[in-house]
Amino acid sequence: MTRPSAILATLALLAAPGVLRAQKHPTLTPLFDAATDSCIAAIPESLQVRLPVYESLTMVDSGYNTAPPAVENLMQVIADRVQVMLGAKRPVLARGEPRVGWRDLGPGMLVVWHRDGTLDVRVDGAAQHTDTTKARGARLLAAALDSSRAAGDFVMTWPEANNADSIRFRLDLERPWADSTGTVHPADVAIAVPVFSVMAPRERHLGFREPMRAPRWPSSLLGAVEGTLIAGYVVDTTGRADMNTFAIVAPREKPEPGGYVADYYNGFVESIRVAVQRALFIPAGYGSCTVRERVRQPFTFTWR
């Protein structure tokens, strides 16, 4: 075995300053508590922007690169029914408040379309949400679907080339976001239908005060090993990672290695931990309110 001269951590998304949310790989989740809820509730309208909310489609079954026409038609039927339920008529986009606000858009609605024409609907992930208000948007979509089905507003025609017993798809509510200057950034959705609008505060997404130093593979370790781990941690309102929350969260399906391989693994984890601990972030915020944010970040060690 030879001693590698420079095995570096290739941080595809954390090696340079910038906005994390705009990148492809990190997963960011804002964390709210009583203090931030109170602060956000007091944000004046001058720091808020009315934004459209879109019903977006994801085909859960991998056999579909595009949505069947019947599914796209159903999306429009649901959107039209939501307009009626919220008391507006197109082309005017209904206002979601007070029934649905900007923080009530998730989780999504999972639909299973059976060959016999029946539809099974579930608010996706609702069982995992202790705050049921988070599902208000999806429950509105489900209510619109039930109302349209009872009124006979649509007929689902099964695709002729499909031999499966069911087709699964998910409907989510997505919105653009406005930065601190009021500039609106579009929602990243491929198939979307506008359903209503919400007032939302201007946002500041998690970023860096200075570039993060790429972790280095410990020089004491021998051999050429490549691998990717996903680290989870929370960035607090001061812009530092709360190391009490640091953990390797993936890959979950594989046990931690033993024997001599454990030296590589532990060295890898420790170098990530040190890099995260040293990082200086610009904390996320809404209006004038700063919030904690949970980060899931991939780290890949490769030859360089």
Q: What is the mean pLDDT of each run of 10 residues along the chain (304 residues)?
A: 30 34 59 93 93 95 82 96 90 93 91 93 59 77 95 91 90 95 91 94 91 66 65 96 92 62 78 91 94 90 54
- The SS3 of residue 28 is strand
Tell which of 182, 201, 220 closes a domain.
201
Q: Do 131 and 262 lie in a common domain? A: no
Of 175, 201, 227, which one is at a domain's C-terminal end? 201
Q: What is the value of pTM for the model shown?
A: 0.78
Do 135 and 173 fall into the same domain? yes
CATH code for the domain in which residue 229 is found: 3.30.2420
Does residue 32 lie within any of the structural domains? Answer: no
Last residue of a domain, one of 169, 201, 233: 201
Q: Long-range contacts made by residues 65-74, C-beta under 8 angstroms, separation at least 24?
A: 67/169, 67/191, 68/159, 68/162, 68/167, 69/157, 70/113, 70/156, 70/157, 70/158, 70/159, 71/113, 71/167, 71/169, 72/191, 73/154, 74/145, 74/154, 74/156
Is residue 155 located within the same domain as residue 267? no
186 and 218 belong to one structural domain:
no
- pLDDT (0 to 100) of residue 8: 31
Do 156 and 94 lie in a common domain? yes
Do 218 and 173 fall within a single domain?
A: no
Task: Classify residue 99: in a domain, yes or no.
Answer: yes
182 with 74, same domain: the answer is yes
Predicted confidence at residue 79, as pLDDT, reads 96
> Domain check: are 264 and 141 in the same one?
no
The count of domains in the chain is: 2
Same structural domain, 257 and 195 = no
Q: What is the pLDDT of residue 162?
A: 84
Report CA-CA distances (Å) from 173 to 57, 220, 293: 9, 50, 21
Give the per-residue pLDDT at 5.
Answer: 28
Question: What's the pLDDT score for residue 24?
Answer: 37
Same domain, 183 and 229: no
Residue 89, pLDDT score: 79
**Are 231 and 118 found together in one domain?**
no
Tell whether 24 is covered by a domain.
no
Domain that holds residue 99: 48-201
pLDDT at residue number 189: 86
Question: According to the model, what pLDDT value does residue 127 have?
Answer: 40
Tell me whether residue 43 is in a domain.
Answer: no
Per-residue model confidence (pLDDT) at position 85? 96
